Structure 1
Amino acid sequence: MNLSKSLYTRGLQCEKSLWLKKYRKDLLTPPDESTQAIFETGNRVGELACELFPGGVKVPFDSSDYEGMIEKTKKLIDSNITNIYEASFSYDNIFVAIDILHINKDKSVEIYEVKSSTEVKDVYLHDTSIQYYVLNGIGFNVKKVSIVHLNNRYVRGDELEIDKLFTIADVTDEVKELQDEIPKNLKGFRRVLSDKNNEPQIDIGKHCSNPYECDAVEYCWRHIPEYSIFNISRLKSDKKFELYRQGVVNFEDIPDISTFSPAQQIQIRSELTKEEIIDKEAIREFIESLYYPLYHLDFETFQQAIPEYKGISPFMQIPFQYSLHIEQKDGKLEHKEFLAEDGADPRYELAKHLVNDIPTDVTVLAYNMGFEKGVIKRLAEEFDEFRDHLLCIYDNIQDLMTPFQKRHYYTPKMRGSYSIKYVLPALVPEMAEAYKKLESVQNGGDAMRTFAQLSEIEDEKEKARLREALLRYCELDTLAMVKVLEKLREVANETRFVYVCSNCETEYVYFEKMNVIKCEFCGCDIK
Structure 2
Amino acid sequence: MMLHGSDLVRMQKCPRLAWLEYHHRQESSLPFYNMEDSFSSLWTRAYGLQDTPRGQRGDSMEDSFRILDSLAPGESARFIRIVYRDLRITIPWIRKLEDGWEAIWPMFTARESEAWVMKLARLAAAANGIDIRRQEAVFLNRSYIRQGSLDTGKLFLKSDCLENRKHHLTSSIEDLQADLDVDPDRLIDEACSLFSGPCPKAVNSRHCALGKRCRHYESCFRTDLRPGDDTIFLRTLPGRYSLPEGSMADLDPAGLENYPTAFGQYQAARHNPWIDREGLRQWMQDAVHPYSYLDFEWDTFAVPPYRGMKPADVLCFQFSLHTETEEGLDHASFFGWGDCRRAFIQRLLETVPKEGTIFVYNMEGAEALRLRQLARQFPEYAEPLQQIWERMKDLSKPFENGLYYNLRMKGRFSLKQVVTLFTDDPVYSSLAIHDGLQAVRAYREYETADPGTRERIMEELDRYCQMDTYAEYLVLKGLEKVMEE
* Residue of structure 2 equivalent to 1:240: 240
Indicate whether 1:395 and 2:390 are aligned. yes
2:455 aligned to which of 455, 464, 471: 464
* Residue of structure 1 equivalent to 2:317: 320
* CA distance in 1 between partners of 2:202 and 2:464 (Å): 40
Query: 2:445 is paired with a residue of what secondary structure?
Result: helix
Query: 2:332 is paired with a residue of what secondary structure?
Result: strand
User: Percent sequence identity over matched residues?
Assistant: 22
* Residue of structure 2 equivalent to 1:267: 265
Query: 1:74 is paired with a residue of what secondary structure?
Result: helix
1:325: Cα distance to partner? 0.8
* CA distance in 1 between partners of 2:316 and 2:195 (Å): 50
1:131: Cα distance to partner? 1.8
Q: Is the 8 A contact 2:293 2:472 kept in 1?
A: yes
* CA distance in 2 between partners of 1:333 and 1:174 (Å): 60
* Residue of structure 1 equivalent to 2:5: 5
Q: How many matched pairs?
A: 465
Aligned in 2, Cα 1:18/1:267: closer, same or farther, shift over 3 Å?
A: closer
Bigger Rg over Cα: 1
User: Which structure has the higher relative contact order (CA within 8 Å, separation 6+)?
Assistant: 2
* CA distance in 2 between partners of 1:385 and 1:39 (Å): 28
Aligned in 2, Cα 1:186/1:215: closer, same or farther, shift over 3 Å?
A: farther
1:33 aligned to which of 21, 29, 41: 29
Q: Is the 8 A contact 2:321 2:333 kept in 1?
A: yes
* CA distance in 1 between partners of 2:128 and 2:413 (Å): 55
Indicate whether 1:413 and 2:408 are aligned. yes
Indicate whether 1:168 and 2:169 are aligned. no
2:118 aligned to which of 102, 106, 128: 128
Trace 1:178-327 onto structure 2 (pairs within 5 A).
181-183=181-183, 185-190=184-189, 193-194=192-193, 198-199=197-198, 204-206=203-205, 208-209=207-208, 220-221=220-221, 225=226, 227=228, 228-236=230-238, 239-243=239-243, 248-251=244-247, 254-261=250-257, 262-273=260-271, 275-327=272-324
Q: RMSD value over aligned CA atoms?
A: 3.3
Q: Is the 8 A contact 1:270 1:411 kept in 2?
A: yes
Query: 1:451 is paired with a residue of what secondary structure?
Result: helix
Instruction: Report the more deviating stretch, 377-386 or 304-313.
Output: 377-386
* CA distance in 2 between partners of 1:222 and 1:198 (Å): 22
* CA distance in 1 between partners of 2:464 and 2:210 (Å): 33
* CA distance in 1 between partners of 2:408 and 2:21 (Å): 36
Deviations 1:391-438 (A, max 9, x none): 2222222233343344333322233444323211111231xx131111
Indicate whether 1:377 and 2:372 are aligned. yes
Instruction: Report the more deviating stretch, 205-214 or 85-94.
Output: 205-214
Query: 1:148 is paired with a residue of what secondary structure?
Result: strand
1:447: Cα distance to partner? 1.6
1:476: Cα distance to partner? 0.9
Trace 1:59-208 onto structure 2 (pairs within 5 A).
59=54, 61-62=56-57, 65-67=58-60, 70-80=61-71, 82-104=75-97, 106=98, 108-117=100-109, 119-122=110-113, 124-170=114-160, 171-174=172-175, 177=178, 181-183=181-183, 185-190=184-189, 193-194=192-193, 198-199=197-198, 204-206=203-205, 208=207
Q: Is the 8 A contact 1:126 1:178 kept in 2?
A: no
1:337 aligned to which of 333, 340, 363: 333
* CA distance in 1 between partners of 2:277 and 2:217 (Å): 40
Indicate whether 1:435 and 2:428 are aligned. yes
Paired AA for residue 346 in structure 2: K
* Residue of structure 2 equivalent to 1:449: 441
Q: Which runs of 5+ in 2 are unaligned?
A: 161-171
Trace 1:49-60 onto structure 2 (pairs within 5 A).
49-54=43-48, 55-57=50-52, 59=54
1:143: Cα distance to partner? 3.0
State TM-score, norm by structure 1: 0.78
1:250: Cα distance to partner? 2.2
* CA distance in 2 between partners of 1:359 and 1:195 (Å): 59
* CA distance in 2 between partners of 1:366 and 1:112 (Å): 43
Q: Is the 8 A contact 1:152 1:315 kept in 2?
A: yes
* CA distance in 2 between partners of 1:3 and 1:43 (Å): 29
Query: 1:66 is paired with a residue of what secondary structure?
Result: coil
* Residue of structure 1 equivalent to 2:38: 44
1:463: Cα distance to partner? 1.6
Q: Which runs of 5+ in 1 are unaligned?
A: 495-527
Q: Is the 8 A contact 1:13 1:210 kept in 2?
A: no
Paired AA for residue 135 in structure 2: V
* CA distance in 2 between partners of 1:234 and 1:461 (Å): 47
* Residue of structure 1 equivalent to 2:355: 361
Q: Is the 8 A contact 1:132 1:175 kept in 2?
A: no
1:351: Cα distance to partner? 0.7
Query: 2:302 is paired with a residue of what secondary structure?
Result: coil
* CA distance in 2 between partners of 1:133 and 1:80 (Å): 21
* CA distance in 2 between partners of 1:285 and 1:111 (Å): 57
Q: Is the 8 A contact 1:128 1:175 kept in 2?
A: no
Query: 2:288 is paired with a residue of what secondary structure?
Result: coil
Instruction: Report the more deviating stretch, 331-340 or 192-201.
Output: 192-201
Aligned in 2, Cα 1:2/1:487: closer, same or farther, shift over 3 Å?
A: closer
1:302: Cα distance to partner? 1.1
State TM-score, norm by structure 2: 0.84
1:335: Cα distance to partner? 0.8
1:155: Cα distance to partner? 1.8
1:74: Cα distance to partner? 3.3
